[in-house]
Amino acid sequence: MKSWKFLLITGRSLKQGQAAEQGKFSPEYINETTTVEIGKEDAEKLGLSDGMEVKLKNTCGEGIFHVRISQGLPSGILFIPYGPSANLLIPAETGGTGMPGCKGIDVELLKER
Amino acid sequence: MSGVGEMNEILLRPKVEFDVPVEAEVISPDLFAEKSHEEIGSLPVFLGNRKMCLKDLFEIEGQSSTNIVLEGDFSRVKKIGYGMSRGKIHIKGNVGMHTGATMKGGEIIVEGDAMDWLGAEMNGGLIWVKGSVGHFAGASYWGSKHGMNRGMILIEGNTGNEVGKKMRRGTIAIKGKTGDFLGVGMIGGTILAFSETGERPGAEMKRGSIVLFLENCTNPPPLLPTFTYNCTYSPTFLRVYLKTLRKLGFPVKEEYISGKYRRYNGDIVELGKGEILIYEP
Amino acid sequence: MRIMWINGVEIEDTFAEAFKMYAARIIVTAVNRQWALEAATKLSGFATSIIACGCEAGIEAEISPEETPDGRPGVSVLLFTMGKKGMEEQLLNRIGQTVMTCPTTACFNGVTSQEKVKVGGKLRYFGDGFQISKLLGERRFWRIPVMEGEFLVEDYFGIQPAVGGGNFLILGETPEQTLKAAERAAEASRSVKGVVLPFPGGIVRSGSKAGSRYKFLRASTNTAFCPTIREQVKSELPPGVNCVLEIVIDGLDEEVIRQSMKRGIEAACIEGIKRISAGNYGGKLGPFHFYLHELFKQ
Amino acid sequence: METISATCPFCGCLCDDIQIVVENGKVLEVKNGCSISKTLFTHHDPDDLVPQIEGKKASLEEALDRAASIIRQARFPLVFGLSMTSCEAQRKAVELAEFIGGNIDSTSTFCHGPTTLAMQSVGEPTCTLGEIKNRADLVVFWGCNPVEAHPRHIARYSVSPKGLFNPAGRRGRTVVTVDVRATPTARVSDIFLQIQPHKDYEVFEVLRALLKGKDLRIDSVGGIPLDALKDLVNKMKSCKFGIILFGMGLTMTRGRHLNIEAAISLVRDLNQFTKFLIIPMRGHYNVTGADAVLTWQTGYPYALNFSRGYPQYNPGEFTTVDLLRRKEVDAALILASDPMASLPRQASSYLEEIPFVVLDCRKSYSASFATVFIPVAASGVSISGTAYRMDGVPVLLKKVLDSPHPTDEQVLDGILKRLRQR
Amino acid sequence: MIRITKGKVYDPINGINGKELDIWVDGGKIVQVGDAPDLVAERIIDAEGCIVMPGGIDIHSHIAGGKVNLGRKLRPEDHRKDVVPRTETTRSGVGHSIPSTFVTGYRYAQMGYTMVMEAAMPPLTAKHTHEELHDIPIIDKGSYTLMGNNHFILKFIEKGEIEKVKSFISWLLKTTKGYTIKIVNPCGVESWKWGKNVENIDQQAADYAVTPRQLISILSQIADELGLPHSIHLHCNNIGVPGNYETTVESMKATGTNRVHVTHAQFNSYGGKGWADIHSKAREVVEYVNEHPNVTFDAGQIVFGDTTTMTADGPWQYRLYLLSGNKWVNADVEMETSAGIVPYTFRKKSLVNAVQWAIGLELMLLAEDPWRAFMTTDHPNGGPFTFYPQIIKLLMSRAAREEMIAQLPRRALERISLPQITREYSLYEIAIITRAAPSKLLGLHQKGHLGVGADADIAIYRENPDVEKVFSSVQYLLKDGEVVVENGIVLKSTSGRILYVDPGEEGDIEEYIREEFEKFYTVTLDGYGVPENYLERGECVSCG
């Protein structure tokens, strides 16, 4: 399976905030927090389109996400809204500060067939 | 270095594997001196939130000594040698956080690894770690104006981030790799890092010296743009430091003593009187 | 009065009278032996007598790279003054003018002592704010930027009580023989660690006595030992003596002076030397009295 | 049908101008609120929650008994969360943590904990949000995205409102966004500087150097041309009142607290030229309150340990992610947070190895794994109280709907009472 | 019923100076003084060898609120060196310069204090102040509401609408549950919102055509008209600046014959053109006070050592940051005020600090009327309140002062007059400046004395030749008639009262300002104030 290296950023999205209020087990929340955003250019290069499933993995863990193509993302960077799925990929090392590094994480993207 | 069985030393071994942290700043030559076996055994320690006696947690051999030997896994035992002013602690294993923090004198030798805050805000004495250490060795505690103020920390393994943070005086030498922000906010003192270092060494330093040897480092991190190159030369003071380390038995290659170094000053967003010296092979 | 002879030379039963002084030991290192010696020679230059030089100084020894703080060839210089203040002044001026100025050198303290004088701590101002302090253990160094690179000098130099003015006189038949004996004596005296012979080649020809007929002079020529006026004064010279040379020794303590005098006298007792004597002021001025005979007891 | 004034208990904006139309205990309409606020009030349905022990339905009394017994046995327990409840409950949580000699930590641990660390190093020149509205002519959003995280921030406080000394509102301000991605916030800004990930520290250093008039021999830093930064520095120096608003883009990236330290130092230095201040964009509606309550009661804002009967503070040592990663705690009590959803799995998975108690007003991931789950009434929906806005302004939380459940405070008190009787 | 017997009683309000008298306490009040053959006590406190005084009252201390709490948050290094474990009866916390709330209450009580006034409460965050006051045990409390840079007050004055100013102040005191009008660097703090300041009392604020002189004059007038139990509480312009004594004297003059309390006067009694020639002008300031019975002041004495400075005077704190290079917090509060925090160490070796130290004592020793001079450190600005016993000793002993003066730089001596001052306070005078006068200044009739009907807040100290020891720790402290501290140990953590005023002259001002308020504030007007339920034991003190 082919894989590409990316830097992953996790963060808030409006939908995630809203969906959490609808319930952590609501389809809206699950859907939003298993979405990975990718820049248009990268998506084209990798042959990805909205809704396609990809696997993301790194030394912390792995997860399946579905693609959403985003205008704002520069090449080489992925974005996932905060949530249990994103947390599979976030290292718990805090550099002695208490704060895990939730942004700019090395991940590999694998295209599901 | 003294071995076990030597005359007049106190030997401690954990009785159990600790599942929660232990706070034991009483493991200190200052407190063990002139105390009977019984008195030492009654010194207070904390196993999590339970106040206990030293003898509840450790097998103790010997009495009245400033020479302490620790055998076994002490990686969850914190504050060993905290504030000590004399004597010696020899740890034959790993050791927990805050080892030798705020110490004023004496010697701590760790055969294994040490966790975060090793020798934080220390004021004198020597700490020698054969293994690796965590973050903030020789650093300031949160909020403090300055970190290590005197003394020497020698580390043969690797370190975490912010080693020597805000240090004012003293010397830290690291044989292995160092993490990010080596010597951040330094006010003075000297850090010698022999291998690879993480990002942003010397950030916000006012004064002090960071010497990078970058041994086996193929891809050294760029210095911050707020450090500026001055010249390449052979600093005499460095010869004195390296010779001193060698005399103590810390491994230093001959070519470093007579070698040339690139001198950068910074951090210009602060006072700018600090320096990073980079060995030029 | 007992008489003592060494190798046919009479050792007079008298004593050398020495004074309390302060001493400092300065270790000068440089890129090589030559430059270290160059600086050390200048550092200890014009320092024969406290009377007019402000201090007495000399090269004590060369030091191998293994023994110097920075692992480079070094030279140790001993410098003697009467007081602490004078020492501070002398070290500051001399190190500033002769060591700092000399290519590649560095300058370290060679005396561990409670008492000390600030040197690097004052010289540092030459750095115009760009000087850098380094504290290693209990020792502080100053790095002063100079055109060639950096001058490294120790913050404080230890000073210790010392002994100045150990001496003996070589009374010979001819100037040639006396000079030869004095040269041998100087070399032997110098071989003791902890002493220096501040005069040229370790030898002084113009020995002095305290006082003078002129009010403005505190000391004047040692008339009792001047052969050319033997008959005009109350002379101490035995018959046949036509030349006298003196060896003057400053040392860190009495014992090294004793050793140094002993070795020097032994070396001086060669053919053509009539007598070995010593300079004193009747025991009124200095607390240290080195009786020549006692040097050779036991 | 009645209209009730409310304060929105979602984000650190704590908008207190919400009007809620209620009929028969049902919310019909949420006026003034953002889309999240509307969802929050309309989706509030606590009725299906019951106390549970190991996944099985239990009475409140049984749940409290079990919770107390878990905590009583623990030697190194953790009390965690606190940021989505009122100060009154937070006070009780501190009392409990102190009584049991445990650790206590809030969600500051993974939002603005690094901001606190930076503040403790260099200080913090800051202000209340009204100062921005009334005075700011330069607003810089750095590593934050209020359009999605604090939906009314821009309209209510920082960009559009007309202020006392800024009658022109939006037109009277220059808005700059610095971010890795072109967020919706970037799109409403006048200037967007796209920065490479992890390069914020370098950019701040360069800005500080430029402010000090230093020449730098570089063309760009962190993907931003030096000329753009020179321009930004000039704008900062020449504005009348500038503000930096920053978020997780600084606290969570490489450098963490030191990124903030650099940002604060820049702002501090700018005060030699003009008025310039900085405000962290706090996320959860009362995480600022958690900081405040902990600080006034103990001296420290988070990452505390009471093992020795007095508070010890040390982020990195007593912070939740570290305590869990190092597997040091032996029990946990979680309120007003959902660590199973919000913490790195590497850390939160340890909770499954120890007994833990969860208090929550809704079904959360943590609740479903908890040894004991106790449903509570939602602060700001069913209970009144106090909460602190991101800028430290205390705001009243109001009761809008009834709840069948006890408050956090009552539950904590119940546990505490059981612990005291022995 | 408790009977305190055999103690030497110092009760200046009732003219009792060290007389042995029985004091009878019941139901939280003093019910009888002297012999009472009819009364039966359930408990007799044997006060032989003890001094009996009313509980101490601190009229100016920063103990609660947003700024204090930011100070706490700022300084973990300050807390680490002074930790306080919990006990069966007390909560844990930290001490030194910014103690946690519980510890603040305990430590005041342990020193025999039963009432403390928080000196600066921003209206917008008044709830915060009250939340913290709630968590300060044992002592009674009140807060001064910051008004010297309030938008509405400045605007109304600018427009000459003095009646509106009065209504607004009345409303604001009630709304914030404040005790009096606090003025900090009037107009200067408003200017600070643009990074500026005012340099004298006739310079207008940056955004309003109002001068400090006008503001001080009008607000002091209004305080008297409203009959507030305490006068305006004034932190003058130009604090900490050499030469500022003129501003201080001018500020006092601006009040005419209206009451005015000049706070931490030490920081405002400097002569000289700069730090190089700073010298004491305590005499000039005190002379004005001595001649004008409408004026009172407190010392703001400094204590050598490390502390945390915090005031609502934003520009001053920024200046102090520039001087010290220490970490700096600034917290501007929209429409109203500001705050700044800078850690600072007062050093004996520092010429400026030595002069400051002397000025505080000079002010106290030169003041002729002890009823108008108050001992404070402006906690924690001059030093932590826990140093009060040391200051009492300095006031009472010239020898103690000389011992300290000997340690100061010699150059300081020509800049101060302290070495020449021979006065020594008596115990009776100490009782005046720390008990009787504060209660009078605050307009409280049931406090600060031991007469029948007074609140039974009584401090009993063990006599000792070292006065510092006497006042460091009480033998007994009775609060509202209950023994809460014994032998320095807190036995019971009770709740004190919150005192506030409601002058009742707000009229319809709330509705008048509503629109403007909601336009420029970021909270709703209805959510602005402090609801009654924040005050566990609220007590409204009457005006007029």
pLDDT 10s digits, D275-325: 999 999 999 999 999 999 999 999 999 999 999 999 999 999 999 999 999
Task: Indicate the angle between helix axes D200-211 and D257-270, nearest 10 degrees.
Answer: 20
Neighbours of B3 (CB within 10 A): 9
Nearest chain D residue to A101 by CA distance is D252
The confidence score (pLDDT) of residue C219 equals: 85
Residues D205 and D300 occupy one common structural domain: no
Q: Are residues C106 and C212 located together in one domain of the fold?
A: no
Q: For residues E521 and E366, what is the distance between their CA atoms, to the nearest angstrom?
A: 46
Give the C-alpha separation, C167 to B200, whole Å: 64
Alpha carbon B87 to chain centroid distance?
Answer: 17
| Chains A and D are touching, with contact defined as 3 or more CB–CB pairs separated by less than 8 Å | yes
β-bridge mates for residue D304, sequence order: D104, D313
Chain E touched by D165 (CB under 8 Å): yes
| A47 CB within 8 Å of a chain B CB | no
Q: Report pLDDT for B2.
A: 40
- When mean pLDDT is compared across C48-52, D206-210, E362-366, the lowest value belongs to C48-52
Nearest Cα neighbor of B250 from B183, B174, B140 is B174
> Over E378-440, what HEC string results?
CECCCCCHHHHHHHHHHHHCHHHHHHHHCCCCHHHHCCCCHHHCCCCCCHHHHHHHHHHHHHH
Whole-number pLDDT of residue C3: 84
Token readout for C270 is 């060669």
Q: Indicate whether C175 and C91 sit together in one domain.
A: no
Same domain, D338 and D379: yes
Question: Which domains are assigned to chain A?
Answer: 3-111 (2.40.40.20)
Evaluate whether residue D5 is within a structural domain. no
Residue B258 with chain C: CB contacts under 8 Å: 71
Write down which residue in D227, D248, D280 finishes a domain: D280
C156/C193 same-domain check: no
Mutate to test the interface with D, among B19, B49, B166, B268 (most CBs of D within 10 A): B49
* Interchain CB contact of A25 with D (< 8 Å): yes
Q: Decide: C172 and C244 in contact? Cβ < 8 Å.
A: yes
Strand, coil or helix: C247: strand
D187: which chain A residues are within 8 Å (Cβ-Cβ)?
72
Q: Which fold has domain E55-450?
A: TIM Barrel (3.20.20)
> Are C36 and C10 within one domain?
no
Chain E positions touching B142 (Cβ under 8 A) are 76-77
Within this chain, do residues C169 and C283 fall inside the same structural domain, yes or no? yes
CA distance A53 to chain D (A): 21
Which residues, 6 or more positions from A25, have their beta carbon under 8 angstroms from its beta carbon?
D363
Band (B7; pLDDT cuts 50, 70, 90): low
Using the predicted structure, report yes or no on whether residue D107 has a pLDDT greater than 80.
Answer: yes
Q: Residue B4 above 60 pLDDT?
A: no
For the beta sheet containing E16-20, the strands, ordered from the edge strand earlier in sequence to the opposite edge, are E16-20, E8-11, E50-54, E458-462, E476-479, E482-486, E489-490
Q: Give residues 257 to 296 of D whose Cβ lies within 8 Å of E.
A: 268, 271, 274-275, 277, 291-293, 295-296
**Are residues D255 and D386 both part of a single domain?**
no
- Give start and end residues of each alpha helix (H) in chain B: 29-32, 37-41, 54-57, 236-248, 254-258
Residues C65 and C191 both lie in one domain = no
Assign residue C100 a region (left: φ > 0; alpha: ψ between -120 and 50; beta: otherwise). Answer: alpha
d(CA D134, CA E334): 8
D193 and D152 fall within a common domain: yes
Q: State mean pLDDT over A85-89.
A: 96
Is residue C136 within 8 Å of C230, Cβ to Cβ? no
pLDDT band at A113 (very low <50, low <70, confident <90, very high): low
Closest CA of chain E from D213, distance in Å: 19
Q: Tell whether D341 lies on the interface with E, counting CB pairs under 8 A.
A: no
User: Looking at chain C from residue 172 to 231, which residues have their Cβ under 8 Å from any Cβ of chain B?
Assistant: none
Distance CA B171, CA B164 (A): 9
Residue D230: CATH number of its domain: 3.40.228.10
Question: Average pLDDT for residues D367-386, to the nearest whole number?
Answer: 96
> Which CATH number does the domain housing residue D57 bear?
3.40.50.740
Q: CB contact, 8 Å: A60 with chain D?
A: yes
Both tokens of B118, joined, read 């090793």
Which structural domain, as residue segments, surrounds residue D63? 49-109+285-421
Determine if the peptide bond prior to E380 is cis (ω within 30°): yes
Same domain, residue pair C271 and C155:
no
Residue in D75, D79, D319, D321 to test binding to B, most B beta-carbons within 10 Å: D75
Q: How far is CA D26 from CA C80, D14, E534, in A?
A: 99, 22, 29
Q: Judge whether residue E315 has pLDDT over 90.
A: yes
User: Given a cut of 90, is residue B219 above it in pLDDT?
Assistant: no
Helix (H) or strand (E) holding D363: none
Q: ipTM of the assembly?
A: 0.95
Q: Is E147 left (phi over 0), alpha (psi -120 to 50) or beta?
A: alpha
SS3 E534: helix
pLDDT digits (tens, 9 = 90+) for D144-193: 999 999 999 999 999 999 999 999 999 999 999 999 999 999 999 999 99
What is the number of CB-based contacts under 8 A between chain A and chain B?
Answer: 13
What the block records as the tokens of B230 is: 């001055």
Chain A contact for B156, CB < 8 A? no
Instruction: Write the pLDDT tens digit of every residue in D115-144.
Output: 999 999 999 999 999 999 999 999 999 999
Return the amino acid letter for E446.
Q
Q: Determine whether the interchain pair C150/B236 forms a contact, defined as Cβ–Cβ distance below 8 Å.
A: yes
DSSP-derived 3-state class of residue E78: helix
Closest CA of chain B from E351, distance in Å = 23
**Residues of B with Cβ-Cβ distance to C152 under 8 angstroms:** 236-237, 240
Among D262, D280, D298, the domain-final residue is D280
Q: Which residue has the tokens 């922000």?
A: B181
Mutate to test the interface with E, among D5, D164, D296, D305 (most CBs of E within 10 A): D296
Most A CBs within 10 A among D13, D27, D36, hence the mutation to make, goes to D36
Does the beta carbon of B190 lie under 8 angstroms from any beta carbon of chain C?
A: yes
Q: How confident is the model at residue B5 (pLDDT cuts 50, 70, 90)?
A: very low
Interface residue C147 vs chain B (CB under 8 A): no
Which residues of chain B are within 8 Å of residue C134 when distances are taken between CB atoms? 190, 209, 237, 241
Could you report the per-residue pLDDT of E218-249, keeping only the tens digit for each?
A: 999 999 999 999 999 999 999 999 999 999 99
Residues D75-90 have pLDDT tens digits of 999 999 999 999 999 9
Number of domains in chain D: 2
C10 and C103 belong to one structural domain: no
Interatomic CA distance for residues D114 and E384, integer angstroms: 29
Query: Among all residues of chain B, which has the CA nearest to that of C108?
Result: B240
Name which of D127, D156, D295 is nearest E332 (Cβ-Cβ): D127
Same domain for C270 and C172?
yes
Question: For C150, which residue in chain B has the nearest alpha carbon?
Answer: B235
Q: How far is E67 from chain B (nearest CA, A)?
A: 17
Of D251, D280, D309, the last residue of a domain is D280
Residue D408 contacts E, CB cutoff 8 Å: no
Tokens of residue C107, six digits: 């300058």
Residues D63 and D80 in one domain: yes
| Domain at C71, CATH number | 3.30.70.520
CB atoms within 10 A of CB B67: 20
Q: Tens place of pLDDT for every residue, chain C, 298 residues?
A: 578 999 999 999 999 999 999 999 999 999 999 999 999 999 999 999 988 899 999 999 999 999 999 999 999 999 999 999 999 999 999 999 999 999 999 999 999 899 999 999 999 999 999 999 999 999 999 999 999 999 999 999 999 999 999 999 999 999 999 999 999 999 999 999 999 999 999 999 999 888 888 988 888 999 999 999 999 999 999 999 999 999 999 999 999 999 999 999 999 999 999 999 999 888 888 899 999 999 998 6
CA distance B153 to chain C (A): 12
Which residues of D fall within a CB distance of 8 Å from E175?
none
CA torsion C99→C100→C102→C108, rounded to 10°?
A: 50
**Residues E145-194: tens digit of each pLDDT:** 999 999 999 999 999 999 999 999 999 999 999 999 999 999 999 999 99
Shortest CA gap A97–chain D (Å): 4
pLDDT higher at D376 or B4: D376
* Residues A47/A51/A53/A59 CA torsion (nearest 10 deg): 90
Which residues in chain D have Cβ-Cβ distances shorter than 8 Å to B226?
Answer: 205-206, 208-209, 214, 216
What residue in A sits closest to B159 (Cα-Cα)?
A95
To the nearest whole percent, how much of chain E has pLDDT over 90? 100
One domain, residues C156 and C174: no
Render B141-190 in DSSP notation, one character per residue: PTT-S-S--EEEEEESS---S-TTTT--S-EEEESS---SSTTTT--S-E
| Whole-number pLDDT of residue C283 | 83
Task: Give all chains having 3 or more CB-to-CB distances under 8 Å with chain A.
Answer: B, D
Chain B residues near residue C69 by CB distance under 8 angstroms: 240, 243
D75 part of a folded domain: yes
Q: Each residue of B32-90: pLDDT tens digit?
A: 999 999 999 999 999 999 999 999 999 999 989 999 999 999 999 999 999 999 999 99
Write down which residue in C131, C160, C189 finishes a domain: C160
Helix, strand and coil content of chain E, in percent to the nearest 5, comes to: 40, 25, 40
Are residue C35 and residue C144 in the same domain, yes or no? yes
Q: What is the chain C residue with the closest CA to B105?
A: C137
Residue in the block written with tokens 């590497």: D346
Tens-digit pLDDT profile for residues B81-126 = 999 999 999 999 999 999 999 999 999 999 999 999 999 999 999 9
Q: Residue A111 class from Cβ within 10 Å (0-12 exposed, 13-18 middle, 19+ buried)?
A: middle
Residues D222 and D123 in one domain: yes
pLDDT of residue C281: 83
Burial class (CB in 10 A: 0-12, 13-18, 19+), C46: exposed
Cα of B168 to nearest chain C Cα, Å: 10
- D5 to chain E, any CB pair closer than 8 A? The answer is yes
Q: Which residue has the tokens 């006048």?
A: D190
With contact defined as 3+ CB pairs under 8 Å, the chains touching C are: B
Strands of the sheet with D138-142, listed across from one edge: D191-194, D174-179, D138-142, D241-246, D275-280
The residue range of the domain holding C186 is 4-18+163-295
Question: Which among B23, B79, B82, B144 is the top mutation candidate for probing chain E, defined by the most E β-carbons within 10 Å of its own β-carbon?
Answer: B144
- CB pair distance less than 8 Å for B145 and E77: yes
Q: What is the pLDDT of residues D2-52, one digit of tens each?
A: 999 999 999 999 999 999 999 988 999 999 999 999 999 998 777 789 999
| Count of CB pairs separated by less than 8 Å, B with C | 51
Is C174 in the same domain as C144? no
Q: Looking at chain E, which residue has its C-alpha nearest residue D133?
A: E520
Cβ–Cβ contacts within 10 Å for residue C296, how many? 13
Residue E146 and residue E311 in contact, taking contact as beta carbons nearer than 8 Å = no
Answer yes or no: is D25 within a domain: no
pLDDT given at position B1: 39
> Which residue shows structure tokens 């000098």?
C153
pLDDT tier, B3 (very low <50, low <70, confident <90, very high otherwise) = very low
Predicted TM-score (pTM) of the model is 0.96
Q: Give yes or no for A66 touching D (CB within 8 A).
A: no
The residue-averaged pLDDT of E530-543 equals 95
